[in-house]
Amino acid sequence: MDPELHRALRIKAAETDRSISDLISDAVKSALAEDAEDLQAFEERASEPDLLFETVVKALRADGKI
């Protein structure tokens, strides 16, 4: 681990009266929960039609947005 990150973790742990392990566990849980939300969103949108980038850009240009 980067020494400066470790130092920041030690300081935060001391200030919040928590262990470094708890802080890291919470951060990992948060990242995994975010991944789970992303996966759910992908599943919910799986039936939507695919859009080609070229089509989207042409539509933006036609609408005067770019």
Domain count within the chain? 1
Q: Each residue's pLDDT tens digit in the chain (66 positions)?
A: 999 999 999 999 999 999 999 999 999 999 999 999 999 999 999 999 999 999 999 999 999 999
Task: Tell me the two tokens of residue 46.
Answer: 């799986």
- pTM of this structure: 0.67
Task: Tell me the two tokens of residue 41.
Answer: 């969103």
**57, 66 in Cβ contact below 8 A?**
yes
Name every residue whose Cβ is closer than 8 Å to that of residue 36 and which is 6 or more positions away in sequence: none
Domain that holds residue 23: 3-62
What tens digit of pLDDT does each residue of 22-38 get? 999 999 999 999 999 99
